[in-house]
Chain A
C-alpha cells in the first residue's frame, strides 16, 4: 500500500452541519406564508416592494463589503432574509425610494458599521424601520387598502391608540384579526400566517422557544392583568396578541441572533420584558407599534441580560 497522507486536525472531528446559511434559509422560508398572504391581500404591488427591498439589500451589502475590502458574505442569505422582513413591516405601496433608503440604513447603520452580521448590537431591520418611521412619518402611515374591504382604513392598533378599546371591539372580530383581514403593514396583518412560520422555525429548531414563548406570555399576562382590573378601559389580552405586530415581533424580530441574549435565563427575561414593554407603549405611550419599539429598546439590555450566566456545573 502506498503511503497515505493523513490529515491531522484538532477535535472535534465531526460537525452537526448547522450553518448560518441554512438558518437564514429557514427564516426566509418561514416568512413565505405571510408574504404570500400579503400579495393575495394587498395585491401585486407587494411583489414590487419585496423585490426592491431584497435586491437592494443584497446590492448595498455587496457594495459595502467590497468597498471596505471585506470578504463578501452575501452567500449567508442574511441580506435576503432581512430585506424581506423589512418589506413585510413597511406599509404596502410605500414609494420605491423610501424602501431603498430603508435597506441602505438597515445594511449600513444596522450592521456593517459594527463589522457585519454578528457584531450588531441592535436588530438591523428595526433600526431601519424606526429611522423610516421618524424620517417619513406620513409615508409610513399611508396604506394602500386591501383588495377585500376591511372594516377600517386604519390598522387595528391605530384604532386602539387613537380611539380606545371600545371601538376596537366594535370594528374587528377575533377571526378578522387572526386571519389578517385588516389594514396594516404588508406582512404583519395575519397572525395565522406568522404563527405558521413561527411553528416551522420551532420545528426546525432554528429558533429557541424561550424568546417567542416568553414574549407572548409577557404580552398576554401583562395586558391580561390590566384588562381584568380595568373595567373596559384596557384592551383584552387576545387583541394584544393578535394585533399590532405582536406575532412578527415574537417569531422574527425578537429572535434576531446577535441582538438578543444567549443564555436560557437571559432569553426568558428578554422575552418577558419586551412583551411587557410592548403593552406599556401601546397603552400609555405615544407610539402605535409598541411591539417593534419594545424589541429595539430591549436590545439595549442584551449585554446585561447576558451577564446572568447559568450556574456552572459543580459551583
Chain B
C-alpha cells in the first residue's frame, strides 16, 4: 500500500533502529510531585491535606472532567499552592512520600460504569492534551462516522507510541474495540508510520473493522489536520474541529490506557515516554511512574551529566523547555529531550531574504514570513487577514529558515496581541 501524506512538512530523520525499543520500567522514586493540573485547561481540586495517608490508585484531586490518582501508597508531605504549570499558570502540587512497605498493592476492582472509570482515572487524550471524557461526550453528541486511531510520534519514527503499537498490540486493540463500542463509527482507521507496518505481529489479529493505513514519516503528520486530510481527504477550519466532520481522532496511547483502566481495572499511574539525549543517538522508550521528578528519570537512565543544558518536554519542534529538573513527569508529556549546550540553536534578528522555504514547508499553506513580518512590525490586523489563527505552531517554517528568524515566536506574539485586542473590544 502506498503510504499517504500531505503537502509540505519535513521528512523525519531516519531511525538507526529497525523497530521501536521495548519499554523499560523506571522504578518508583521516593518522592512524587503531583500537580493538580496536567493539561491545558482547568485543574483538579485537591482532596487531601498535608500529612494525610493515601493508597495507591486513590483519587487525590478531582474535577468534573478528570482526576489525578495516587501512583503509590504513602502520605502527603506538602501542599504547594504556587506550582507553575508548563503553560505558565499557577496550580496546586501535592508532594507525596512513598510508604516504607515496598508492597504497593492495587485496590480491589470495583464495578463501575465505563465513564466513571474514565473520569476516576483521569484518562487524557493528546494533541493537545485534554480529558478523554470531554472528547467522548462531545463525540457521542455529534455522532462519529470515522474514528482515527493515531499511533504517530512527533518527529520520531520509533517513539513510545509505536512501541505501544508494536510491542503491546493486543492491549491497543482492546482499547480500540472499546472506543468502537462507545462511538459506533462506520470506519475505523489505524494510522501508522510506514516503517511500523511490517512490524505488526501477524499473530495478534487486528479486527477486520480496523483499517491500518501507512503514512509517510513526515512532520507534522501526527497532528489532527494532517491526519484527517491524509486519511479522509477532508479539511476543516482551525476554529472548528474534526468532530464537526463526524471524525474523532484519538491517540493509540489513549486507547491502551483505556483498556487498562476499563478492562483490567489498573490505576492510571504510569506514563509511556520517549526519552532522547543528551548524547545524540541515545533514545529510550520508558514507562515512568507519574509524578517522578525528571531528575529521577535521568538518574535511572544513567544520563545525569554536566552536559545537560536544556530539558524539553514535547517534541523538538513544538516542546516546552523546563527551568528545573524537579519538574515531575505528567500525563500530558510524550517525549523528553535532553540537549547539550552545543545542540542549542540561536535565532536572529536578520531580515527575511524571501527565499520561500517557509512557504514551501508550511503544512497549513500559510505565508509564515508574512505572518511573522506583520506581527513583528505591529500590523497584527494584516496578520489576521492572512489567517494567522490557522497556524498550528508546528515549527516547520522556523526549522528551515536560512536566516534563523524566530517565525513561530513572532506568530505567537501576533496571536496573543490579537486575542488581547479582541478581549478589550469585547469589554
Whether B304 is near chain A, meaning CB under 8 Å from some CB there, is yes
Given contacts A4-B309, A13-B310, A13-B345, A263 and B359 within 8 Å (CB-CB): yes
**Which stretch (B138-146, B160-168, B393-401) binds chain A?**
B393-401
Whether B379 is near chain A, meaning CB under 8 Å from some CB there, is no
Within 8 A of B (CB), among A1-50: 1-2, 4-16, 18-20, 22-23
Given contacts A6-B311, A309-B367, A309-B386, A14 and B316 within 8 Å (CB-CB): yes
Whether A264 is near chain B, meaning CB under 8 Å from some CB there, is yes
Can you list 15 A-B pairs, Cβ within 8 angstroms, ordered by A?
A1-B304, A2-B306, A5-B309, A6-B323, A13-B339, A19-B403, A20-B402, A20-B403, A117-B353, A118-B350, A257-B353, A258-B354, A262-B354, A312-B390, A313-B235
Number of interface residues of B (CB under 8 A): 66
Other-chain contact of A4, B308, B400, B409 (Cβ < 8 Å): B308
Within 8 A of B (CB), among A116-173: 116-119
The answer to whether A313 and B321 have CB atoms under 8 Å apart is no
Contact with A along B319-333 (1 / 0, CB 8 A): 111111100000000
* B353 contacts across to A, CB distance below 8 A: 20, 117-118, 257-258
* 10 tightest A-B CB contacts, nearest first: A262-B356, A12-B395, A118-B351, A314-B237, A310-B365, A118-B353, A18-B402, A12-B317, A314-B235, A15-B345
Other-chain contact of B312, A2, A13, A267, A310 (Cβ < 8 Å): A13
Whether B19 is near chain A, meaning CB under 8 Å from some CB there, is no
Describe B's contact surface by its main secondary structure.
Answer: loop
Other-chain contact of B359, A5, A9, A16, A264 (Cβ < 8 Å): A264
Q: Using CB atoms and an 8 Å cutoff, list the residues of chain A in contact with chain B.
A: 1-2, 4-16, 18-20, 22-23, 115-119, 208, 257-258, 260-264, 267, 306, 309-315
* Chain A residue at smallest Cβ distance from B365: A310
Whether B29 is near chain A, meaning CB under 8 Å from some CB there, is no
Shortest CB distance A111–B (Å): 11
The answer to whether A12 and B357 have CB atoms under 8 Å apart is no
* A6 contacts across to B, CB distance below 8 A: 308-311, 321-325
Other-chain contact of B317, A14, A18, A19, A311 (Cβ < 8 Å): A14
The answer to whether A18 and B401 have CB atoms under 8 Å apart is yes
* A263 contacts across to B, CB distance below 8 A: 356, 359, 367
Whether B46 is near chain A, meaning CB under 8 Å from some CB there, is no
* B337 contacts across to A, CB distance below 8 A: 13
Whether B318 is near chain A, meaning CB under 8 Å from some CB there, is yes
Whether B352 is near chain A, meaning CB under 8 Å from some CB there, is yes
* A15 contacts across to B, CB distance below 8 A: 345, 398-399, 404
Q: Identify which of B240, B344, B366, B403 gathers the most chain A CB atoms within 10 Å of its CB.
A: B403
CA distance A69 to B412 in the complex (A): 32
CA distance A13 to B398 in the complex (A): 10
Shortest CB distance A118–B (Å): 4
Whether B363 is near chain A, meaning CB under 8 Å from some CB there, is yes
* A7 contacts across to B, CB distance below 8 A: 309-310, 321, 341, 344
Whether B243 is near chain A, meaning CB under 8 Å from some CB there, is no
* Chain B residue at smallest Cβ distance from A9: B321
CA distance A312 to B391 in the complex (A): 10
Shortest CB distance B164–A (Å): 25
The answer to whether B354 and A18 have CB atoms under 8 Å apart is no
The answer to whether A313 and B339 have CB atoms under 8 Å apart is no
Q: Identify which of A9, A12, A14 gathers the most chain B CB atoms within 10 Å of its CB.
A: A12
Given contacts A23-B402, A119-B351, A10 and B319 within 8 Å (CB-CB): no
* Chain A residue at smallest Cβ distance from B351: A118
* A22 contacts across to B, CB distance below 8 A: 402
Shortest CB distance A247–B (Å): 22
The answer to whether B399 and A12 have CB atoms under 8 Å apart is yes
* Chain A residue at smallest Cβ distance from B311: A6
CA distance A1 to B240 in the complex (A): 48
* Chain A residue at smallest Cβ distance from B364: A313
Other-chain contact of A18, B225, B309, B365, B400 (Cβ < 8 Å): B400
Given contacts A208-B356, A262-B355, A315 and B387 within 8 Å (CB-CB): yes
Additional A-B contact list (10), CB under 8 Å, known A9-B310, A11-B317, A13-B319: A6-B324, A11-B321, A14-B345, A18-B401, A20-B403, A115-B351, A118-B354, A208-B360, A311-B365, A314-B390
